Structure 1
Amino acid sequence: MPTDSSASAGPLADLRVVEMAQLIAGPFCGQLLGDFGAEVIKLEPPGTGDPMRQWGREKPHGRSLWWPIIARNKKSVTCDLRTPEGQDLARRLVDQADIVVENLRPGTLERWGLGFDRLRETNPGLVMVRVTGFGQTGPYAPRAGYGSIGEAMGGLRHVTGDPGSPPSRTGISLGDSLAGLFAALGALAAVNGRRRTGRGQVVDSAIYEAVLAMMESLLPEWEVAGYQRERTGPVLPNVAPSNVYPAKDGEMVLIAANQDTVFKRLAAVMDHPELSTDDRYATHAARGHNMAELDELISGWTASFGVEELLARLHDGGVPAGRIYTARDMFADPHFAAREAIIRLVHPELGELPMHNVFPRLGETPGTVRALGPLLGEHNTEIYGDLLGLGEKERAALAECGVI
């Protein structure tokens, strides 16, 4: 296992991860572990690599802008897991690892002789993280599962969008990312459990369950109260005021003043303190019942100010409010800059490349972005040569027959 446990290397610097995953859900788990210092060795098919190397709408110089982020802090080795030789290399790597991350369809690794029961024979402390659409068990386990399907099955799609439109997506791969996030949490929980038991275990992260975990009180609302959540656009039913309101210059501002004390502040900022004692708006329930009327009243007030003056008044009055940011807004915002929420690394072809920093922030052993997504097979010599001890001729022979 890696031995660099210094604070500068990150709190997970003593962990080695073998990533047998591609696309988003599994690799996002690997990204999170790598962000906090784990050595992440990513196995990729020779010649093609992870499809994420090609994904993304914009490709300056023919390069994905997504790959440098999701593969940051990782080491790339090529390995054809469909061959006996590749499977042997993978087993040798796993023997020296703490965690394996994979997101293949259930049963695939078992067919290749890389199932958990086989791998734990020589590495009893191994933690195997398995990220799939529907989990490792149950009638749907064999199905192909993508993030969008998990979002639909987990309930997110049904409640996303405007009431008069079909279910919408959020604009990011939220289901995949949630599954990867829960996978990383499970991996660290299993590693901590290993400290007590000496044994590893399987972490089963299903996309639909990761989404379901975010659905608040949706289930008891239906069974206990007979209420089914629906799409509500920018508002939450019976929670007011919490909406997007217009400014005079055409910009939109989100105001969230649904708590009684905060609504009192908003009423004062609006120079109508009597609203907070009006029976129609004095309580949370009353404001929810009269949501449309209240939103119209607030919109009339906000539309009389430019966005800067409006926000200044709201912030000075202690009312939660803000613009709906785009990337341009993030780059220009002094708070992002002060907290270094956006960092920049130099890519050999793309030049200076901005991306989000490592979150959450640890006070003593923070995570870091040490390297951008690697070239395909960039670390073959380091991993196969230095770590596994394969000589140059042996590596050349494996490359010649397409194994690496």
Structure 2
Amino acid sequence: MTAMMSEALSTPSAGALPELGRHAPPLQGVRVLDLSRVLAAPFCAMMLADLGAEVVKVEHPNGGDQTRHWGTAIQGGERTYYLAINRSKQSIAIDFSKPEGANLIKALARESDILVENYLLGTLERYGLGYEDLKAENPKLIYCSVSGYGRTGPGAARPGYDSVIQAESGLMSITGEPDGEASKAGVPICDITAGMYATQAILAALVRRLRNGYGEAIDIALFDCTLANHASVAANALLLKKPPGRFGNSHADIIPQGLYHTADGPLMFHVGSDAQFARFCTDVLGLPEVAADPRFVDNDARRANRDELDEIMSARLRTRSKLEWLPLFRAAGVPAGLVQNVLEALTSDESKAREMVCEIDHPTAGRINLVNSPLKWKESSLATPKAPPLLGEHTDRVLRERLGLDDGSIERMRTEKIIY
């Protein structure tokens, strides 16, 4: 090991954050070491990047993140799945199964604030990169592990995949038509919400560290997060001691809600209170007598007589087109909307007004459109979105600027296939 590399690998711990300008992104100056792949944890790291953190994504030199090979390839060869969840990061390619590669990770962890990982139980510990190992290197490090079933319990060693979690958590049992088969959600919702919970926990741990100076180990499980997502459905199951059923596009507890066919296509609406129901019957349907009917006068009555109400509404809604009904819903203050496909939603006036699609210059694909962060701020700002990185695009820069390695050391490690 060269003298310069030895000096670099003794980088002091992170901890003190720089002063933040009034309008700066809230995590500006925070350093994140992203050792994750696929979706849940990379989604978390991307949210931290949106908030201004400097995120360094560590990938294996042989192919990188699995999602680089998933989805459809666009111009330049990058694939849609990877592009969706890795904006605004830097990529370095290190083989940490080799001791010198593991030492590079330790050096980066010493000067990082947050580490995000989602390896199988015990994997990082084999290379001296587990929480206890890196806590010894940097006591202020916030170390977040995202897995299918958590780091404790009977499933701790199992790999966790969204579709299986949807099945095991009960989510599929409540999704789909009442008389149909259980169905998974159209997006990997367990992964996405686990990434969101992980971000929330990291931010809380960061506040805690600012107050007492200590790092933290965070254990996020897709299974746990999906159970938490059940909310009122879980309360029904626990308090009523029976498994909830499937209601398709309707709601288990709030009536009426659902997808109803008009003369020329479907319309989705939600009546959330008795007052809204009265307006819905009178000002939308033109059936004030339905609002006064004892079978429908309050939500408990409507729930007990769901089928009868459904028959009345369905017949009435088929008498006009969806674009004739929609203004009546709007005027009455009853939530309703057309069923749009994803591309229609992304290119809608609402999406444009909220700047939910961003244009990014990509080094191989050119100018591309990606979904933007949904977070909006009054005083501070989000980081300007940048293109998801190419594999190892920033290896040399990070090793030079963060660890002070010289060109000779970098080239030697590349020749020895420690880095890419």
Work out which of the residue numbers 137, 152, 156 in structure 2 matches 1:141.
Answer: 156
- CA-CA distance at 1:353 after TM superposition: 2.2
* Aligned-partner SS, 1:336: helix
Paired AA for residue 335 in structure 1: E
Q: Does 1:298 align with 2:321?
A: no
CA contact (8 A) 1:15 1:38 kept: yes
Q: After superposition, give the CA deviation of every residue in 1:290-321 in whole Å (9 maximum; x if it has no partner).
A: 11221221122222222211111111111110
Cα distance between partner residues in 2 of 1:372 and 1:37: 14
- CA-CA distance at 1:34 after TM superposition: 0.5
Q: Does 1:385 align with 2:404?
A: no
Paired AA for residue 257 in structure 1: V
CA contact (8 A) 1:8 1:366 kept: yes
- CA-CA distance at 1:49 after TM superposition: 0.8
Name the TM-score, length of structure 2 as normaliser. 0.91
Matched ranges for 1:3-402 at <5 A: 3=18, 5-6=20-21, 9-57=24-72, 59-249=74-264, 251-268=265-282, 269-402=284-417
CA contact (8 A) 1:238 1:289 kept: no
* Aligned-partner SS, 1:165: coil
Name the TM-score, length of structure 1 as normaliser. 0.95
CA contact (8 A) 1:151 1:207 kept: no
- Range with greater deviation from structure 2 (368-377 or 6-15): 6-15
- CA-CA distance at 1:325 after TM superposition: 2.2
- CA-CA distance at 1:194 after TM superposition: 0.9
Instruction: List runs of 5+ in structure 2 lacking aligned partners.
Output: 1-13
**Post-superposition, which runs of at least 4 consecutive aligned residues in structure 1 deviate over 4 A?**
1-4, 57-61
Q: After superposition, give the CA deviation of every residue in 1:68-97 in whole Å (9 maximum; x if it has no partner).
A: 231101000010121111100000000000
- CA-CA distance at 1:37 after TM superposition: 0.4
- CA-CA distance at 1:280 after TM superposition: 1.2
- Give the equivalent residue in structure 1 for 2:6: none
Paired AA for residue 258 in structure 2: N
* Aligned-partner SS, 2:220: strand
CA contact (8 A) 2:87 2:388 kept: yes
CA contact (8 A) 2:61 2:95 kept: yes
Paired AA for residue 223 in structure 2: Y
- CA-CA distance at 1:223 after TM superposition: 4.0
Paired AA for residue 95 in structure 2: D
* Aligned-partner SS, 2:387: coil
The change in CA–CA distance for 1:152 and 1:7 in structure 2 (over 3 A counts) is farther
Paired AA for residue 266 in structure 1: F
- CA-CA distance at 1:122 after TM superposition: 2.2
Q: After superposition, give the CA deviation of every residue in 1:363-396 in whole Å (9 maximum; x if it has no partner).
A: 1113234311011111112100111011101000
RMSD: 1.8
- CA-CA distance at 1:57 after TM superposition: 4.4
Cα distance between partner residues in 1 of 2:240 and 2:388: 49
CA contact (8 A) 1:21 1:101 kept: yes
The change in CA–CA distance for 1:147 and 1:4 in structure 2 (over 3 A counts) is farther
* Aligned-partner SS, 1:253: strand
- CA-CA distance at 1:219 after TM superposition: 4.1
Instruction: List runs of 5+ in structure 1 lacking aligned partners.
Output: none
Cα distance between partner residues in 2 of 1:373 and 1:367: 16
The change in CA–CA distance for 1:159 and 1:59 in structure 2 (over 3 A counts) is farther
CA contact (8 A) 1:72 1:369 kept: no
- CA-CA distance at 1:116 after TM superposition: 1.1
The change in CA–CA distance for 1:177 and 1:120 in structure 2 (over 3 A counts) is same
Matched pairs, number: 403
